[in-house]
Amino acid sequence: MLHSLSIFYSPYSNPQSKKPYEIFPSDNSVTYQIGYKILRPIIEARIDYYIKKHGLEEYLHKIKSKIYKKTNFTFYDIRQGNGKMVVCGQDISVIIYKISNTTTTNIENIINNFPNPENIRLGSHSVPELNYAIDGMQENGERIVTINSGKNHGNYYIKVITNKSNNIQGIKNLLTFNNVIKNYKGTVNTIRCGDTVSIKYTIRNSHGTPILNDLKAHFTVGKGQVPLALELSVINMTSDHTRSAIIPPELLKDFKNQIDLNNIKIIDLQVIN
């Protein structure tokens, strides 16, 4: 019976449960279900003893106090592409085609009904999940994006035709490091292209000495409302972590007259309400 159970922590589990874990029998037959109900107190007692012995109880309860916002989209690449990479806020030409779910749809019909390329600034598309999914593609890259729920749910074919913006110098040299926030409670959001976010940040020199301290910014990622280094640093950041970003000099030009632009800088960031 013990070998037929799955025991794990789930961030989507019932928040009212007193246990920081859930147990599921791997077989739904009546025999297994009855056996599970009979043995459940014994199994839970063994798990509780193990958790207490190794000091895991507080840790697991703290994790369970977080509510992870489920990602509403998935994608897979048909072709990787071989041109310039697309970055949030850049002007691009892209084909976006929503694939019909009707049984009459075939590949020939899809090709014959392709729309003309759209010219958009990435981050401004009316379907947020498409902003998220296009970010990071390359010219000539093709991708199928599936939006799982909501008014825009369905499958989309994406092809990036051209990136009309200049290459961002130094972007490949930007490094980020995440640090978990202890005792974080509430919903965990992931910041992506086109999202609106409030942050507080400190800029340090390469020795860690603060240059600009405890600043705040409220902006939409991709709209150019703040220095580019801030926009790039928050993408894919989660609200239950702080982040330290090492910024190369090429990405510091928007801070002209505020800091020395000749050496790398460190930006410490945290999402705020």
Tell me, yes or no, whether 47 and 119 share the same domain: no
Q: CA quadruple 211, 214, 219, 221: dihedral positive or negative?
A: positive
Residue 176 and residue 191 in contact, taking contact as beta carbons nearer than 8 Å: no
152-169: pLDDT as tens digits: 999 999 999 999 998 888
Tell me, yes or no, whether 154 and 180 share the same domain: no
> What 3-state DSSP class applies to 131?
helix
Domain boundary among 163, 192, 215: 163
117-156: pLDDT as tens digits: 999 999 999 999 999 999 999 999 999 999 999 999 999 9
According to DSSP, the residues that pair with 217 across neighbouring strands are 199
CATH number assigned to the domain comprising residue 148: 3.10.50.40
Give dist(CA 82, CA 247) in Å, integer. 26
According to DSSP, the residues that pair with 26 across neighbouring strands are none
pTM score of the predicted model? 0.72
213-244: pLDDT as tens digits: 999 999 999 999 999 999 999 999 999 999 99
Tell me, yes or no, whether 178 and 237 share the same domain: yes
Q: How many residues are there in the chain?
A: 273
Give dist(CA 164, CA 139) in Å, integer. 10
Tell me, yes or no, whether 182 and 258 share the same domain: yes
Tell me, yes or no, whether 188 and 157 share the same domain: no
Tell me, yes or no, whether 27 and 97 share the same domain: no
89-118: pLDDT as tens digits: 999 999 999 987 754 555 566 666 778 899
Tell me, yes or no, whether 35 and 101 share the same domain: no
**pLDDT of 84 strictly over 50:** yes
Tell me, yes or no, whether 203 and 261 share the same domain: yes
Tell me, yes or no, whether 261 and 198 share the same domain: yes
Integer CA distances (angstroms), 210 to 65, 206, 248, 265, in order: 33, 10, 17, 10
Domain boundary among 163, 184, 205: 163
Q: Which domain holds residue 22?
A: 2-64
Give me the pLDDT at residue 1, please.
Answer: 39
The tally of domains found in the chain comes to 3
Domain boundary among 64, 85, 109: 64
